[in-house]
C-alpha cells in the first residue's frame, strides 16, 4: 500500500499547489490513499466546507486539521455531515466530529487514520498518549486493519518523537504536522513504524510559517499589535511524504519526502 500525506495547507496559494499537483502525483506514484492536513486552508486560519470539497475533488481521501480547526464557524456542523474530515481526538468529549476514521482504498484494504494534538506549548487538551492507547485497544495491525496512520499535530519535536517511539511497531506511521517547517528525519523506526517529525506546509515559504513576513517581523520587532495576520500568497511549495506499507505486516518499508514548487528545493522520489 502506498500513501501520500500532505502537510498543513496554508491559504489560497497552498490550496493551488495541492490542487495543481495531487492528481499528477497519484498517477505518477500509483498512490492508493491521500491524507491532507487542511487546518490553515482558509486564509491561514481554519477550513470551510467549500474548501473541503475542493481538496476532495483534487484527490484527497481524508482531511485532518489541528488547533485552528474551529476558526471558521461554518465548519462546525460540517463535521457531523462529512466522515472524511477529522479533528484531533483528544478534544473534550462532546466536541463535534471525531478523531479517528475508518477508510478503505480501491483494493478494499482497511486504513485507520488517527488524529491527535500534542500538549507542549499547545492547548491543554486530554493526554494524547492515553488517547492513542485507548484507540489501539480497538484497532490492531494484522487483526482488524491493514494500516494505522497517526497525524500528530504539535509544536515540540520532543513530544512528537516520543510519540513515534511509543507507537513503534504498533502503527504503520506517525507523522507530525503544525510547525510548517519540514524536518529532515524521515525514517523507519526499529520496530517498523514510519516517522517524520513534521511534513512542513503546503504554502508560500517567502513568509513566516505561511503568514506575510512584513506583519510577522513587525510583531517580533515592535512587540505591538499590528495589522491582521494574513496568509502569504506567493508561489507555494507543496510539502508531503510518500509512505510504502507492507500489506503482510502493516508496517512501513519506506518513507520519503515530496516537495514541489515554490522556494524549497524539489524532492521527488525516483
The per-residue DSSP string of 63-108 comes to: EE--TTTTSSGGGTGGGGT-TTB---TTSPTT-SS-SEEEEE-TT-
Helix (H) or strand (E) holding 153: strand 147-153
- The per-residue pLDDT for 140 is 96
What rounded mean pLDDT belongs to the chain? 97
**Active site members:** 68
pLDDT average, residue stretch 207-212: 96
Report field, pTM of the whole predicted structure over 0.85: yes
pLDDT average, residue stretch 144-164: 98
- The per-residue pLDDT for 227 is 79
- CA end-to-end span of the chain, whole Å? 17
Domain ranges of the chain: 2-260
- The per-residue pLDDT for 225 is 78
Q: Are strands 2-6 and 194-196 parallel, antiparallel or unpaired?
A: unpaired
Domain 2-260: CATH superfamily, name plus number: Metallo-dependent phosphatases (3.60.21.10)
27-58 confidence digits (pLDDT tens):
999 999 999 999 999 999 999 999 999 999 99
Nearest to 18 by CA among 266, 240, 167, 244: 240
Residue 18 burial (CB count, 10 A): 28
Amino acid at each position: 500500500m502506498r500513501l501520500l500525506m500532505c502537510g498543513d495547507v496554508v491559504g489560497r496559494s497552498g490550496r493551488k499547489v495541492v490542487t495543481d499537483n495531487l492528481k499528477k502525483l497519484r498517477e505518477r506514484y500509483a498512490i492508493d490513499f491521500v491524507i491532507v492536513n487542511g487546518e490553515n486552508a482558509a486564509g491561514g486560519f481554519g477550513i470551510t466546507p467549500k474548501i473541503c470539497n475542493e481538496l476532495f475533488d483534487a484527490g484527497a481521501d481524508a482531511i485532518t486539521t489541528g488547533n485552528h480547526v474551529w476558526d471558521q464557524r461554518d465548519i462546525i456542523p460540517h463535521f457531523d455531515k462529512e466522515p472524511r474530515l477529522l479533528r484531533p481526538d483528544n478534544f473534550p468529549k462532546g466536541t463535534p466530529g471525531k478523531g479517528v476514521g475508518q477508510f478503505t482504498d480501491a483494493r478494499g484494504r482497511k486504513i485507520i487514520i488517527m488524529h491527535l494534538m500534542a500538549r507542549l506549548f499547545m492547548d491543554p487538551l486530554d493526554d494524547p498518549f492515553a488517547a492513542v492507547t485507548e484507540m489501539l485497544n480497538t484497532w490492531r495491525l494484522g487483526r482488524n486493519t491493514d494500516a494505522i496512520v497517526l497525524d500528530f499535530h504539535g509544536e515540540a519535536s520532543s513530544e512528537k518523537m516520543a510519540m513515534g517511539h511509543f507507537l513503534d511497531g504498533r502503527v504503520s506511521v506517525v507523522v507530525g504536522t503544525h510547525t510548517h517547517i519540514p524536518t529532515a528525519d524521515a525514517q523507519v523506526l526499529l520496530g517498523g513504524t514510519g516517522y517524520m517529525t513534521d511534513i512542513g506546509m503546503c504554502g508560500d515559504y517567502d513568509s513566516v510559517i505561511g503568514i506575510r513576513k512584513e506583519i510577522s517581523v513587525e510583531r517580533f520587532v515592535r512587540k505591538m499589535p499590528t495589522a491582521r495576520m494574513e496568509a502569504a500568497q506567493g508561489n507555494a511549495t507543496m510539502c508531503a511524504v510518500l509512505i510504502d506499507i507492507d500489506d503482510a505486516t502493516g508496517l512501513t518499508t519506506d518513507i520519503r519526502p515530496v516537495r514541489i514548487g515554490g522556494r524549497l528545493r524539489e524532492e521527488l522520489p525516483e
